[in-house]
Structure formats: structure tokens, C-alpha cells
Amino acid sequence: MRTPDRVAKRPVRQLIVSVGCPAGIGPEVSVVAAAAQRRVRILLVGDMAAVRAAASTRGIDPARFVRVKGPGAQVAEGRIGVWQPTPALSARDRKPGVPTAASGAAELAWIDAACDAVERGDGDALVTGPVSKDIIVRSGAPGSESFTGHTEHLQRRLGVDEVVMAFWSPKLVTSLVTTHLPLSKVPRAISPSAVETSIYWLATMLARLAKGVPRLVVTALNPHAGEAGLLGSEERTQIVPGIERARRRLRTAGVDVLVEANPVAAETAFRLASEGRWDGVVAMYHDQATIPMKLLGFGEAVNVSLGLPIIRTSVDHGTGYDRAGTATADARGMRSAMELAIKLASR
């Protein structure tokens, strides 16, 4: 078995950061976090004027941010590169709090450019700022019509069969079996294969980060874990077979992890995990995971896409149009996303 303590480490050179919607708080949290980062180089992907405006708003010298022609460019000590792979936005299209079709098209293009650069090896990890799904879809840009979030978009762009949305915070780590689905469609989407995939990829991430053998628990879908079938049968027919498949897959892969054999009611699973009984929780649907995550880790939580051939972390908050341009955005989430990306890339 490969134990977490034997995971090899390697140096991390550069993080590539798509700054998110230029009309939101993404540029602001990106410049604040980048200016504070001392361990690795940061390359921001976005609009140069939006980045420098955000720096000025936060009292950071705009001259620290220099335009570069691509992700391989070198910048002087103390400077932060800004790669603008799209035409410059007009003042109207980067006005704080007022997104436009042009800003939606730009934020999608920045995601794609940053993703491709990391896939080519120009950066060790992709870190993404907050975007507006609605504005991207309404932009009419190529590929925008199917955009439901970073996780699904990156899966399609990178051509992988399995991708898992996960969240990390100092108090709680969780992954999702289903992601951006209407609640009415969740039960049908929970299959043994989907449960297996979510367990497997969360376990591999924890094995890279933990000092000992990680412990995982899987939530039930129904109240009281189905109450022996009285409140639903998904636990018996879908979730338990998925757990069994994941345990076999982890043994075959040589990942040393302990996974509870039976699903546990979500209210109990998250409470005990927050108290240290388990290192990770596999949740069945979006809000089942994000409600406890935002209660326990808001401001520090990080969204992670697992199963991709690249490392991708992100802030766990939205575009904050109501705060954009006010110099009040909390950059802790972006700092946490960068730090977790460094940890994962170094292992």
C-alpha cells in the first residue's frame, strides 16, 4: 500500500489564475492574494486595466502588475505578470457591478486560456476566480451555451470521463456525487458508479494531504439513512454498492484509506466529521455539502475539481457584484485556493 507519508514532493514554479468576471470582485481578490504570495510566481489571466484598477482600489501599487505576452514570460522580482489573451475591455464592460455580454465572453476565454496553459505545462496548477454562469451563457461566446460551472466545463475541455466537485476547508472536506442539478433529478443521478467515483477521488486527494491514513464517510440521501427502507431505498440499492466498488478500486490502486461500509445520515456525518471523527465526507448533492461547508468554512473554503489531468482550485464564493469596486472583498478564499493548489502541486 502507498501511504500518504511516502508521497513524493516537488517544487512548484507558477500558479496560473483566471481572475473571474471583470465586473465582479474576482480581480480584487486576485490582486490582493497575488500581492501577498511569496512562495511561488503568480500569473494573472484577465484584463490589464481591470487588474490595475482593482490594485488601486486596494492600495496596491498598480505598477507591480506588468503585462506579459504569454505564460512563459519572466517578470522582475516583486512584479506580477498579467496575461491578457483577449482584446482590452472598454470601461463600460469592466464597470464594477455591471456585467455585460463582453465581460461574460472575456471571463470564459480567460478560463480556457489559463486551462490550456496549465495543461501544456506552463503552470503547475489552475486557480480560478468567481464567474457568473448566467452572464457567460448570455454572452453568446463559443462554448457558452453549455456552461453550468467550471467543473463541468473543464471536464469537457480536457476530455476526461470522471470529474468530482470537492470542497476543502480547515474544518471540513467534502465531495459531491451530483453537482449542478435540479433537486428533482438528484435521486436518478445517484448511481453506484457515481458514488464510487466521488469516494475514489476524494480519497486520493486526502491521501496526498494527510499525514496518516484518511477516514471517509458517505452520507445517505434520505432522512435517517432511509430508515431501513421506510423513507427510501437509494441507500441499499445505489449507495452501498457504490461504497463497495470504491473500496475495491482503492485497494487495487494502492491508496490506503478507511471508508465506512454504510452511509450515515447527513446531519450526523457532517457533525462528527467537523469534530474530527472523519477526514472527509462524500455528499449526495450540492446543497447537502455546501450548507455545512459554508457554515463551517465560509471565507476560507476552496472548491477543487478532482479527476482532471491538471490541478484546479477556486474560491468558494460568487462574483459579489454588490461589493465590486468598494474595496471590501474578502480575499481569504483566494489565498486559501492558492495555498491548497501549491500543496497539491507539490505532491
Question: Mean pLDDT across the stretch 24-45?
Answer: 97
Q: Check pLDDT > 50 for residue 5.
A: no
* Residue 279 near residue 213, CB atoms below 8 Å: no
The pLDDT-based confidence of 10 (bands split at 50, 70, 90) is confident
Q: Which pLDDT tens digit goes with each residue over 172-183?
A: 999 999 998 999
Question: Mean pLDDT across the stretch 233-243?
Answer: 96
The pLDDT-based confidence of 225 (bands split at 50, 70, 90) is confident
Query: Pick from 93, 94, 88, 116: which is nearest to 18 by CA?
Result: 116
Q: What is the pLDDT of residue 25?
A: 98
For residue 104, the SS3 value is helix
Which of 4-8, 172-176, 340-344 shows the lowest mean pLDDT across its residues? 4-8
Query: Pick from 85, 3, 83: which is nearest to 51 by CA?
Result: 83
Q: What is the pLDDT of residue 113?
A: 98
Q: What is the pLDDT of residue 211?
A: 78
Q: Check pLDDT > 50 for residue 332.
A: yes
Q: Check pLDDT > 50 for residue 2.
A: no
Q: How far apart are CA 26 and CA 233, in angstroms?
A: 43
Determine what percent of the chain is predicted with pLDDT higher than 90: 88
| pTM for the structure as a whole | 0.91
Share the mean pLDDT of the chain: 94
The pLDDT-based confidence of 229 (bands split at 50, 70, 90) is confident
Q: What is the pLDDT of residue 4?
A: 42
Q: Which pLDDT tens digit goes with each residue over 51-97?
A: 999 999 999 999 999 999 999 999 999 999 999 999 999 999 999 99
Q: Which pLDDT tens digit goes with each residue over 289-314?
A: 999 999 998 888 999 999 999 999 99
Q: Which pLDDT tens digit goes with each residue over 54-66?
A: 999 999 999 999 9
The amino acid present at 106, given as its one-letter code, is A
Q: What is the DSSP letter of 90?
A: P
Domains and CATH numbers, the chain: 1-160+308-347 (3.40.718.10), 162-301 (3.40.718.10)
- The DSSP bridge pattern shows strands 125-128 and 14-18 to be parallel
Question: Mean pLDDT across the stretch 121-126?
Answer: 97
Angle of the 332-345 helix axis to the 26-36 helix axis, nearest 10? 60
